[in-house]
Structure 1
Amino acid sequence: MAVHSKHPAAAPPAPPVREKTGHLMLRGWCIFVMLMSLSGTAWVHAFGELTAAVITIAGGILSVILWFVIRPPVHWPRLPWFVVAYVAWATLSLIWSAWPQTTALTLLLLWITTIQALFIGSVLTWRELVRAAASALKWVIALSILFELWVSVFVQAPVLPGFVVGTADDPIEYWSRNNLFDWGARIQGIMGNANLLGPVALLAIIVFAIRIAARAPRRALLWAWIAVSAYLFYRASSATAYVAAAGVLVVLATVLLMRRARRPGERTRYYLGYAVVGIGGLAALFFFRTTIFSALGRDSDLTGRETIWEKVLERASERPWIGWGYATPWAPWDPAFDGWIIDHGQTVLQAHNMWVDIRMQLGIVGVVLLGLLYLAFVWRSWFFAVDRPRWDLRDDRPYSSLTLLPTLVGAIVLVQGLAESSPLLLWGWLFVVMLGSKIKQSPHVGEGPAEQSAAIERGEPEKQEP
């Protein structure tokens, strides 16, 4: 029988490092939180507003409890202070709000989403965060396909919220329109809205591609997930998502070019080219919007959005500096919004532009705070992606594909925010706050107190710097 030498040349064999059960459960909880934000209104459609509210509030309370129990290392001076300022101003608007009940209710959603974002960013490493996002997106993509398949194969009729089979006054009311096998029609997934499904499918393609570039296991399956996500992206046929995809490609190409720069000043010409493409693209989108949106099957006014913007800005002009009070989304039962703006026979629940929406809700002060928040996020995420990781004299460390995620998410939400208010809540807000705070707390993948403490919790030995 083989025996170990009394003077071995290497360490005796040991089983592979396994994650502790507690950390596995923690990551599972983070996946569920992301799933809740990514699936959007699916919880309301499936279980009703009361059940969805109870799940959301209970989830926020549980994350706060876990935060106090785990006590992850947090560098408090490096909190995302523009996020704090924006949330504080939104909270102060409760004092002068013209719709205090709606403000209080939507503030609760804002606070819970913000806390959840900060919580996930503090307890997961960069690698775990991207892995958790991929897992949550797999659930959303799979459930969207299965839901549409169930409707088309077994129900064979449009479905209303609450799994009710019936006839609606307008197709906009349907949770699923039974369009899966109608190739020329749009599908809506579990969100019940093609304009919400499109950006999520685009995000899924990005996250799965980053996982492949990071040499994650089972890459063949990731390619399959990309194919399914691309199918949903195409079938959602969201003009906003198409423009966002173009923005993502421009940002990705520029980042990869920036990483190739070797000499001082070489990036300047790339920045100039990026500015020309960006400004030219926006100008073309504005001056040729009739042709572009007609090609995408949309009206030149983005399906009535310009009319909505005019009415919202008209109300905003009455309280230009502090606004009317926070309300994201607008509550349809509030007299201030019930019947105010009607589209397809339904009360509109957002301004379909996050800047116009905040202009009405929180005034010019709120727009400035939101602008500073996104400027800080874009600035940090950009250099997080284009700069080589460096914290000492070494300047030859390899780039990580994981650093691409924040800047590409920024491209999606900023483009989406021009035609939707959804970046102000749900996954748009969660990912911006989560990734922005993560960059500030852990500016290098795998390095720093937050990254190392989570690795130790998984059962890995503490990393030693060579």
Structure 2
Amino acid sequence: MAVHTKHPIAAPPAAPPREKTRHLMLRAWCAFVLLQAFAGVAWVNAFGDVVAGTIAVVSGMVSAALWISIRPPVNWRRLPWFPLGYVAWALTSIFWSSWQSTTAFTWLLLAITTLQGLMVASMLGWKELIRAMAAALKWVIALSLLFELAVSVFIDGPLLPGFVIPTTKMDPIVYWSRNNLFDGGRIQGIFGNANLLASVALTAMIVFALIFAARTTRRVPLALWFTVATYAFVRADSATAYLSAAAVAVVLATALLMRTARRPGSRTKYYAAFGAVGGLGIAVVWVWRDAIFAVLGRSSTLTGRETIWQAVLERAIEHPVIGWGFATPWLSSDPAFDGWIIDHGQSVMQAHNMWIDVFLQLGAVGLFIMAGIYLSVIWRAWFFAVDRPRWDLVANRPFSPLTLLPLLVMSMLLVQGLAESGPLLLWGWLSVVMLGFKIKQAPLIGIGPAEQTLAMERGDGISSVTDGNGVAGNQRT
């Protein structure tokens, strides 16, 4: 009769540990939080301001309760101080704000979004976080295309927010859907805005492509989802998104090139070449901007954005140091913004430039903090992407495609911020906070306090520390 030896060389065979139900529910909640952020103004278009605001507040309270009850391991000395400083400065601006009620309401939304970003980053490991992003993006892209299909099939005409069918012809800018799915025009999805749909679709393309390259799940469904996201991206036909995609491609190529360096000094020539190509590209875009935007079907003024920028700057320089008061987004119900800048008969709700918007609201101090946010996050994201994973004497571990995510998303937001204020709210701001906090807490995939959460939820005493490509080492939790 066979018996186990008293001196085993390996552990007895056992079934793999299973995730606890509470952790599966937590991951589902994090995916919903990301869905809520990515969907953005879709909640307002569908249910109105009151319901959308209630959903945001209640979800923030639930996330806060979860964080307090679960108490995930967090290195509190490595918080994202620049984003928290921006939130604090925005709150302080209520004392001199020219629109105090708007400042109070929009700051509450900013605080909730910041809390959600911190919560997701602290609750999930890198792989889980990216999986949650993928799940949320699948829902947003699928709902957008199904929404456009339903409008074209069942209504066969434009649709206003609140599921209202217009009885007279109106300016297309007010339509939730323009019924363009089958006529070749720009589609807007559940956002009611083609630029927002294109930005989210580009983010989905980045996430799906990186997961596909990492081989962490079935690749055929991912390829199909990438195709669907690409279709939504092309049909949205956003010039800003096209420029963002070009920037992402350049940054991706540069990061992959940097990964080939074998010696510390080998990257110098790559940095010099990257700087030269980047500077040349900016010069070409500026000199031939009329021709480039004509190819994209846009004017060199970026569809009237220069007029908006001029009006905002004229007002901003009246309070250049501390600004007029936080207001992201501008609320058209506030007399200070209602009728101030009119576009297609509608009050404009943003400056269409992240930096000009910050300058108007929070002055030079706000600009300094925002510059610190992007410099610090992109700096860490760059080395997170191009440095080989190493936590011991082993120096030849393979790179993980997943480490490219923060760098590519931040590059996209940086370019988008030149023509939109989207990076200051909803999924744009949540991504900045979430990815910046996650890199500081876990600068290597599989290592860091938050990275051990999954193993603890499984009840596993030994957690497998991996670099994303199957190379593992054991670390006690």
| Residue equivalent to 2:303 | 303
| Residue equivalent to 2:182 | 181
RMSD across aligned positions (CA): 1.3
Once the 2 structures are TM-superposed, how far is the Cα of residue 305 of structure 1 from its aligned partner? 0.2
Superposition map of 1:37-186 within 5 A: 37-166=37-166, 167-183=168-184, 185-186=185-186
Once the 2 structures are TM-superposed, how far is the Cα of residue 248 of structure 1 from its aligned partner? 0.3
For 1:455 and 1:12, the matched residues in 2 are separated by: 20
Q: Equivalent residue of 2:207, what SS? A: helix
For 1:149 and 1:379, the matched residues in 2 are separated by: 42
The worse-fitting range, judged by mean Cα deviation, of 106-115 and 165-174 is 165-174
| Residue equivalent to 1:330 | 330
For 1:362 and 1:242, the matched residues in 2 are separated by: 30
Q: How many residues align?
A: 463
Once the 2 structures are TM-superposed, how far is the Cα of residue 288 of structure 1 from its aligned partner? 1.3
Superposition map of 1:424-439 within 5 A: 424-439=424-439
Structure 1 length as normaliser, TM-score? 0.97
Contact 1:452 1:462 in 2 (8 A): no
The worse-fitting range, judged by mean Cα deviation, of 158-167 and 125-134 is 158-167
Once the 2 structures are TM-superposed, how far is the Cα of residue 283 of structure 1 from its aligned partner? 1.6
Once the 2 structures are TM-superposed, how far is the Cα of residue 462 of structure 1 from its aligned partner? 1.9
Q: Name stretches of at least 5 consecutive residues in structure 1 with no aligned partner.
A: none
Contact 2:124 2:453 in 1 (8 A): no
| Residue equivalent to 2:3 | 5
Q: Do the aligned partners of residues 9 and 78 (structure 1) sit closer, same or farther apart at CA in structure 2, a change above 3 Å counting?
A: closer
Q: Equivalent residue of 2:264, what SS? A: coil
Contact 1:106 1:328 in 2 (8 A): yes
For 1:326 and 1:383, the matched residues in 2 are separated by: 33
Once the 2 structures are TM-superposed, how far is the Cα of residue 10 of structure 1 from its aligned partner? 5.6
Once the 2 structures are TM-superposed, how far is the Cα of residue 154 of structure 1 from its aligned partner? 1.2
CA-to-aligned-CA distance 1:390-441 (integer Å, 9 cap, x gap): 2232211221111100000011100000000010001111011100000001
CA-to-aligned-CA distance 1:217-262 (integer Å, 9 cap, x gap): 2210000000000000000000000000000000000000000000
Contact 1:103 1:325 in 2 (8 A): yes
Once the 2 structures are TM-superposed, how far is the Cα of residue 461 of structure 1 from its aligned partner? 4.1
Contact 2:125 2:453 in 1 (8 A): no
For 1:359 and 1:319, the matched residues in 2 are separated by: 9
| Structure 1 letter corresponding to 2:55 | I
| Residue equivalent to 1:444 | 444
Q: Name stretches of at least 5 consecutive residues in structure 2 with no aligned partner.
A: 465-472
Superposition map of 1:374-453 within 5 A: 374-453=374-453
CA-to-aligned-CA distance 1:125-178 (integer Å, 9 cap, x gap): 000000000000000011011101101111111110011111452101011101
Aligned-pair identity (%): 62
CA-to-aligned-CA distance 1:164-196 (integer Å, 9 cap, x gap): 11145210101110100112x100011110000
CA-to-aligned-CA distance 1:302-331 (integer Å, 9 cap, x gap): 000000000000000110100000000000
Q: Do the aligned partners of residues 25 and 4 (structure 1) sit closer, same or farther apart at CA in structure 2, a change above 3 Å counting?
A: farther
| Structure 2 letter corresponding to 1:5 | V
For 2:286 and 2:460, the matched residues in 1 are separated by: 53
For 1:160 and 1:324, the matched residues in 2 are separated by: 33
| Structure 2 letter corresponding to 1:19 | E
CA-to-aligned-CA distance 1:68-103 (integer Å, 9 cap, x gap): 000011111110111111111111000000000000
Q: Equivalent residue of 2:134, what SS? A: helix
Once the 2 structures are TM-superposed, how far is the Cα of residue 11 of structure 1 from its aligned partner? 4.5
| Residue equivalent to 2:242 | 242
Superposition map of 1:366-381 within 5 A: 366-381=366-381
Once the 2 structures are TM-superposed, how far is the Cα of residue 214 of structure 1 from its aligned partner? 1.3
| Residue equivalent to 2:341 | 341
Contact 1:442 1:448 in 2 (8 A): yes
For 2:28 and 2:264, the matched residues in 1 are separated by: 45
For 1:345 and 1:282, the matched residues in 2 are separated by: 34
For 2:227 and 2:346, the matched residues in 1 are separated by: 35
Q: Equivalent residue of 1:463, what SS? A: strand
Q: Equivalent residue of 1:389, what SS? A: coil
Structure 2 length as normaliser, TM-score? 0.95
For 1:88 and 1:263, the matched residues in 2 are separated by: 42
For 1:57 and 1:168, the matched residues in 2 are separated by: 36
Q: Equivalent residue of 1:334, what SS? A: coil
Contact 2:251 2:411 in 1 (8 A): yes
Once the 2 structures are TM-superposed, how far is the Cα of residue 4 of structure 1 from its aligned partner? 6.1
Matching of residue 14 in structure 1 with residue 14 in structure 2:
yes
The worse-fitting range, judged by mean Cα deviation, of 215-224 and 230-239 is 215-224
